[in-house]
Structure 1
Amino acid sequence: MKAYRHLFFDLDHTLWDFETNATETLHQLFDDYQLARYGTFTLHDFTTRYNEVNHALWRLYQSNKISQQQLRSLRFVRTLTKLGVPEEEIPADISAQFTAILPLKSAVFPHTHEVLRYLANKGYVLHLITNGFEDVQHIKLASSKLTDYFQEVITSEASGCLKPDPRMFAHALAKAGATAAESLMIGDNLECDVLGAYNAGIDQVYFNPDKRRHFAQITHEISSLDELRSFL
């Protein structure tokens, strides 16, 4: 088994349970802004449509086709107009409220804390590499009590590029004082995390809790974070 020293984790959808935390936040906004008064869509409709719109916008953002500000400003406008709310009636601050509330949520995937403690105790140096926005990622870490596990937190904003760009992985290695040969990337996104790391010469762990079918060649694949103990 290859010896690793530096472990690079993705944050959202890998450790921090974005879907659970986002759903809780959307439920709060639905109530706070009394969106039920329109009578044309349900809470489920609201969360489902938001997720569709948000995922589409994130794909554009990760392809450098829209800016961070465009992503934030468009996601609720598109969600609510698609649900029949006149654009002039969309609360001007709903996106800002979402951004303020979401990172305060603390749900993480099963075994997150136990596995990170195990890895730290085994002597691995842990880092984060994330396309998430700088102003919220550190709040997420603090809210979910994850901050102390990680030596370096590398964000796309700080590095000036997005995963899967090899330059982001090179920046992460340089900041961590690590080599590709002694490093391992753990993440849920086949393109951004797995292929990005592969192209940077870094071994990968694909975190695939839903056991999605794929044909990618991967160093390791897990459906539960606890499985990291079997080879680390």
Structure 2
Amino acid sequence: MKYRHLFFDLDHTLWDFEANADETLRHLFELHELGRYGTFTAEEFIRVYSDINHGLWRLYQGGKITQQQLRATRFPRTFVKLGLTEADAPAEMSGQFTDLLPHKTAVFPYTYEVLDYLRDKGYVLHLITNGFKEIQYVKLNSARLTDYFREIVTSECCGHLKPDARIFRHALERSGATAPESLMIGDNLECDVLGAYNAGIDQVYFNPEKRRHLAQTTYEISCLSELKNIL
């Protein structure tokens, strides 16, 4: 067994962030009767929010904004982009989104089957995530994923965000693993693949949309079931 310790990302790798966020945003669109403006649809609201949120997350991961700034600005910016004002964004919407989203349970195809397979084969499973600690644990519990992982490492718990190699080294230390016997599985070329590479850890790039890229990865898959061909 070349690898013994497997480190997974959570959002966009196991837990289907886009599907769960879409469901939550559609609920908020209806709850706050945003259709009354008549200038954008629920689909447009979701698309604009998603673009803004992704941009803010890149800033957060780069250390350029705080968690509080991310949460406070993503909905007001969405409303402005949709032709309204920051004041039109309901003050409670950000908190409602944060409260509702983690309870959604959509995961990527074969998530449970693959995690069962890997655990039964004797691999030790861990998680490394940049997500906010309190939210990530709710996601894991809601989606029945918590018990699969021995160590759950969040950026908040160690003070460093992926792709900083220090969060990977912290995860190795916490799990009692060495880099040569470890493998990182994640969807983000910078945070997961490059970050793990810089820590001396082999990587699996999870690329379900088969995006073209020039990055060098140890392995690449488009479906989690393909991990069975590697491990």
Query: Does TM-score exceed 0.5, indicating one fold?
Result: yes
Give secondary structure in 2 for the equivalent of 1:181.
helix
Deviation at 1:84, TM superposition (A): 2.1
Give secondary structure in 2 for the equivalent of 1:201.
coil
1:4 is matched with which residue? 3
The AA in structure 1 aligned to 2:85 is P
Distance 2:149 2:58 in 1: 27
2:35 is matched with which residue? 36
Matches within 5 A, 1:1-232: 3-232=2-231
Aligned residue pairs total 231
- Post-superposition Cα deviations, 1:11-55, rounded to whole Å, max 9, x if no partner, equal 000000000000000000000111111111111110010011001
Distance 2:22 2:134 in 1: 20
What are structure 1's unaligned runs of at least 5 residues? none
Distance 1:151 1:33 in 2: 40
Deviation at 1:135, TM superposition (A): 1.1
Distance 1:89 1:193 in 2: 37
Contact 2:76/2:87 (8 A) holds in 1: no
Deviation at 1:82, TM superposition (A): 1.3
Give secondary structure in 2 for the equivalent of 1:99.
helix
Give secondary structure in 1 for the equivalent of 2:52.
helix
Percent identity reads 67
Distance 2:230 2:46 in 1: 38
Deviation at 1:88, TM superposition (A): 2.1
Distance 2:87 2:195 in 1: 41
Deviation at 1:86, TM superposition (A): 2.5
- Post-superposition Cα deviations, 1:112-142, rounded to whole Å, max 9, x if no partner, equal 0000000000000000000001010010001
The AA in structure 2 aligned to 1:113 is Y
Distance 1:87 1:76 in 2: 8
The runs of at least 4 consecutive aligned structure 1 residues that moved more than 6 Å come to: none
What are structure 2's unaligned runs of at least 5 residues? none
Distance 1:92 1:184 in 2: 42
TM-score, normalising length: structure 2:
0.99
The AA in structure 1 aligned to 2:44 is D
Deviation at 1:216, TM superposition (A): 1.2
Root-mean-square deviation (CA), in Å?
0.8
- Post-superposition Cα deviations, 1:59-116, rounded to whole Å, max 9, x if no partner, equal 1001100000000010001001211223223211100000000000000000000000
Distance 1:186 1:142 in 2: 20
